Amino acid sequence: MSFRSVAIDGPAGAGKSTLARRLAGELGFLYVDTGAIYRTVALAVLRAGEDPSREDQVVPLLDGLDIRMGYGSDGVQRMYLSGEDVSAAIREHPISGAASQISAIPAVRDFLLDFQRKQAREHDVVMDGRDIGTVVLPGADVKIFLTAAPEARAKRRLLELEQRGQEADFDRVLQDIKERDWKDEHRDIAPLKQAEDAALLDTTGLNLEQSCDRLLSLVKEKIAL
């Protein structure tokens, strides 16, 4: 039996996870947030007291890592590190930068490749990340490159942080986003870029409902539901 897949790539804060989760719900597919997997590796590296930018410190940890993914009764993806539910811990601020650093290490990407592909071998999936359409699932039925202007993404991120009761400053958030974009786009291996056969969806100036509608119609053009 062959399963269907939707690959959604794009920069941080473009709304990928919210939209991908909604889309997966509409289609009845499993939602796989691959950023969460990279974040879990980053957390393990920080907890081990190692430097996430140092390949020589990160690579020796990989073999001993016990990372699992599961789904709660609410259908939301959860990440486990050595059996501990770290779904909340991986969302804390220092993890974003560390995840970006470890994701530039080729051995980390190799290590996670099969973990991600396995999900698509076993389920219909909507998978989001940076290299899903280009590297992880080059044969995906639908590929979407989801983006928005950095300022629009920073505004959304600020709102998210405020809703969680965390203080944040617009300029700092914007700078973080730009730095992460630069790193993700310029790394040597699997950089963030639009696959040639991906449809571009720019959500600058669109609200969530409008973005969702556009996404769903792009997907329906390619996949018979």
Residue numbers at the binding site for ligand DC (CB under 6 A): 12, 34-35, 38-39, 96, 99-100, 103, 129-132, 180, 184
Closer by beta carbon to ligand DC, 121 or else 220: 121
Closer by beta carbon to ligand DC, 8 or else 218: 8
Contacts of 92 (CB under 8 A, 6+ apart): none
Question: What are the φ and ψ backbone dihedral angles of 77, each rounded to 5 degrees?
Answer: -65, 135
> Would you call 2 helix, strand, or coil by DSSP?
coil
Question: What are the φ and ψ backbone dihedral angles of 197, each rounded to 5 degrees?
Answer: -100, 20
Closer by beta carbon to ligand DC, 27 or else 146: 146
Closer by beta carbon to ligand DC, 77 or else 131: 131
The β-bridge partners of 129 are 9
The least CB distance from residue 83 to ligand DC, in Å, is 22
CA–CA separation, 44 and 98 (whole Å)? 10
Closer by beta carbon to ligand DC, 29 or else 35: 35
Three state DSSP letters for 58-105: HHHHHCCCCEEEEECCCCCEEEEECCEECCCHHHCHHHHHHHHHHCCC
The least CB distance from residue 40 to ligand DC, in Å, is 10
The least CB distance from residue 95 to ligand DC, in Å, is 8
The least CB distance from residue 41 to ligand DC, in Å, is 9
Which H helix or E strand runs over 142?
A: strand 142-147
Closer by beta carbon to ligand DC, 79 or else 199: 79
Residue 9 near residue 131, CB atoms below 8 Å: yes
The least CB distance from residue 225 to ligand DC, in Å, is 25
The least CB distance from residue 135 to ligand DC, in Å, is 8
